[in-house]
Structure 1
Amino acid sequence: MKKIIYQIIRLLLLAIFRIFFRIKIRGKENLPEQGGVIVMSNHISAYDPPLLAAIFSRPVRFMAKKELFENPLLRFVLFLADAFPVDRSKNDISAVKKALSVLKSGEVLGLFPEGTRRPEGKLGNPKTGSVMLAIKSGVPVLPVGIKNIKKAGRITVNIGKPFALDQFANKRLTKEERKEAAQFIKTKIQNEINYEE
């Protein structure tokens, strides 16, 4: 029943974004039809999670800051979306384990690797936790660039081809290698933000 409600809400959200925000989506077909995958996007607005949930037919599960679960209405919405909390004030091992479990079970995990919202056009560096989760899980990463969400006119969502981080897997990474992996992810997302037809 929860899955049916999720899809109904998703389609309603998609209609709202299309009517009021004139959303333009490129590359929606790049999301693998099955198997674990991490959707990694820039984060410029509170609209970003529902936007990503709306455009993908597969449910996207988000790791959301624990403070959001303190609001009863938001907690219900997050429950419907199967989101789970993360304590950003520490290395939240339980949230990491939950994320790995989601991916191992073949689901889609939504992450904003910068860890917080940033002004449009100022993409931050991915947090170490997001980078290591992508490497340790071994699943494809789908880069997404969101543009114009706070401006008049059309929201654009560019979705790139999924990529792997195999070159960083199965070894103990140095500090420089972790930075290299973070830069690799950042570049993939930046390419989608910059994409112009």
Structure 2
Amino acid sequence: MTRKRVGILISGRGSNMSALIAAAQAPDYPAEIVGVLSNRAAAAGLVTAAEHGIATASLAQSKFPSRDMFEDVMTQTLESWDVDYVCLAGFMRILGADFVNHWAGRMINIHPSLLPLYKGLDTHARALADGAATHGCTVHFVTPGLDEGAPILQAQVPVLPGDTPDSLAARVLVQEHRIYPEALRLLASGQIAALT
């Protein structure tokens, strides 16, 4: 089995990155994590990745004259790792259309809501404010429109009496760590087609 090569983009501790790394340690998993790139040099996830022997890089957008130049270097970095797929794991920057289109069908993201509900930020607080009975997370293909790409997998959690955004987020995160590795497995094994 030839394993697909995966690069992960993070901005912080990278808990979903850690879930992907753990899944990829199984000998029958169809993907390997070959590089982790952060837009923050202090991101704790870079240390975690390095401890697993994974290549790391950090790029600060503020050091570049434009977002396009920043994203061009991101692409060059990912291509230097010869990646087949890109996974966003808490990468807290809006990506430009040129970058997204370059990786079209090969870049996926985990979002903490049942898309198309609650695109963007503060999803848990918004679900509670709406009185939602269920909430959850979605792994989806990345497209130029924010959180608009086709879903791959979703997981639901019940909203419980007395839930706060933090308590709800904690239960959703458990499901994120479960479905993100499964979605990458489906993509890397060819069980779902890369959208182009």
**Is the TM-score greater than 0.5?**
no
Greater fraction strand: 2
Q: TM-score range by the shorter chain?
A: 0.3 to 0.5
* Higher RCO (Cα < 8 Å, 6 or more apart): 1
Greater fraction helix: 1
